[in-house]
Amino acid sequence: MKIYNTFTRKKEEFVPVTAGQVGIYVCGPTVYGMPHLGHAKSYINFDTVIRYFKYLGYKVKYVQNITDVGHLVGDGDDGEDKISKQAKKEKLDPYEIAYKYEVLYFENMDKLNVLRPSISCRATGFIIDMIEAVKQIIDKGYAYVTDKGNVYFDVRKYKAYGQLSNRTIDKTLSGERIEVADDKRNPEDFALWKSVDENTLMQWPSPWGQGCPGWHIECTVLSKKFLGKHFDIHGGGIDNLFPHHECECAQADIVNGCIPMNFFMHNNLVTVNGVKMGKSLGNFITLPDLFKKYSPMAVRYYINQFHYRSPVDFNDEGLKLAQKQFDKTNELVAKLRAIVDKQSNIVDEDLVAIKNNFESAMNDDFNTPVAMAEFIKLIKLLQNELKNQNTNRLEQINTLITKLGEEVLGYVFTQSGTSPVEDIPGDIKDLAQKRWNAKLAKDWAVADELRKEIEAKGYEIKDSKDNYQIIKK
Ligand SMILES: [Zn+2]
């Protein structure tokens, strides 16, 4: 099995630190706003990686942090804490904001059938460990304390800086607009500990005065705490490669005495209609909004058609097609499971080939587009086989759908054969039910009237043989 490693910019053979086990750390969300498209892509990508390791029989320990302190607006060392800023906006305190959005994050990930991590850890729960790590970095001569009570990592002392992002310090300086705090020795130094004013709610005592940790130190500390000094994979978004992951590596090298992760995996980002998504650009799409139009499984189906290292462009055309394809798949699986409920060993040559091709694709740096193509091939086969009703063959197909479609690709198939889109208003649901009843009673005129009424309210009805679906137009 080969995985693309950001350290070497190459696909490398995966050899676990401990045979049969995988330890993986993925940077979790900063909980200050609604989960959005970017979260869907990122965490589905890593969920599929974790699912595949489990499918292969590995014992997986998956650690994900919740950043509830220390992440400043602009990702640097100056500016307001993202959570405190949102707290003022919503007139709540920062702890309330963090918990509110943590709950929303998990609720939305559950809808996408993203498995919960083995360990979810909040940064605020491990301040003592972070202070210990900062002390060690100071003691080893790689950090300094300023008279303002800040602690900075001395980047020029650490010669390997840039090993992950391939940046030299000069490149960093010319490429980035760095706001330089006036107590830093050098502009590229980054905060390990920040002093805060007395009105800040999130603050803790430290040897350097009241303050809070810098953003990067949490991932260094939490990965070591739960996965040890040396583990298999660290994952995260390509937008965090620099400075976050570069700084994490530097700190970890000092604290652990080695670079802890064998592989650093980065997933690519999302665009909306070809444009970068951003709050200021007016194209920011939250998951609750997205799920009003498309079912979470259709979103997952869409994302799986792209490689995790490729960007995903969200547009209505693509998502509508994914919705259609997923619904069709769902309908066929429901029909299959109305006939067979057992699993069989895969022996038929064509089905063995699908399984092998699927696994080869996944073994090649989790190539989900190719794996999806094999899965689609399987569903086409199913469509034909439903006509023949050969039980053993259908049981084999059922087994592959369970293993490849559900276990690895993470789909949830419903018995009714439809995948509900959320938050359809009650009056629309009532009209749709009335229309369905009219249709069953062959009262075509009434059914037609009701369809028009529903359409006038902005919804469409899509019929399948024995069910219907409501879609927001
Ligand atoms: Zn992180």
pLDDT number for residue 174: 46
Say which residues have a Cβ less than 8 Å from residue 420's Cβ, sequence separation at least 6.
Answer: 295, 414, 469
Is residue 417 domain-resident? no
Alpha-carbon distances of 236 from 41, 357, 428, rounded to whole Å: 11, 27, 40
* Same-domain check for residues 379 and 451: no
* Ligand 1 center to 64 CA (angstroms): 9
Same domain, yes or no: 449 and 321: no
* pLDDT, position 35: 96
| Ligand 1 midpoint to CA 266 (Å) | 12
Which of 249, 267, 285 terminates a domain? The answer is 267
Give distance in angstroms: CA of 227 to centre of ligand 1: 14
3-state secondary structure of 453: helix
- Please say which residue of 252, 267, 282 terminates a domain: 267
Distance CA 5, CA 311 (A): 18
Q: Residue 464: give the domain boundaries.
A: 426-472
CATH classification of the domain holding 36:
3.40.50.620
Q: SS3 of 197, please?
A: coil
Q: How far is the CA of 218 from the centre of ligand 1 (A)?
A: 7
Quick check: 126 and 222 in contact, CB under 8 A? yes
pTM score above 0.85: yes
Distance 63 CA to ligand 1 centre (A): 11
For 72-126, give the DSSP string. Answer: BTTSSSSS-BHHHHHHHHHTS-HHHHHHHHHHHHHHHHHHTTPPPPSEEEEGGGG
Is residue 177 domain-shared with residue 322, that is, in the same domain? no
Q: Are residues 354 and 443 in the same domain?
A: no
User: How far is the C-alpha of 457 from the C-alpha of 283, rounded, in Å?
Assistant: 24
pLDDT at position 394, please? 97
pLDDT score for 75 = 72
What's the gap in Å between 146 CA and the centre of ligand 1?
Answer: 25
Domain count, the chain: 3
Output the domain CATH number for residue 380: 1.20.120.640
Tell me how far the alpha carbon of residue 297 lies from the centroid of ligand 1, in angstroms. Answer: 27
pLDDT along the chain (473 residues), means of 10: 98 98 97 95 98 98 93 76 89 94 97 97 97 98 97 96 88 55 88 91 94 95 98 96 95 97 97 86 90 94 98 95 95 94 95 98 98 98 94 97 98 77 78 90 93 90 78 75
Residue 17: HSE in the Cβ half-sphere, 13 Å Cα cutoff: 16
Do 218 and 324 lie in one domain? The reply is: no
Same domain, 92 and 59: yes
Ligand 1 mean position, distance from CA 120 (Å): 13
Q: Which residue has the tokens 């002093």?
A: 195
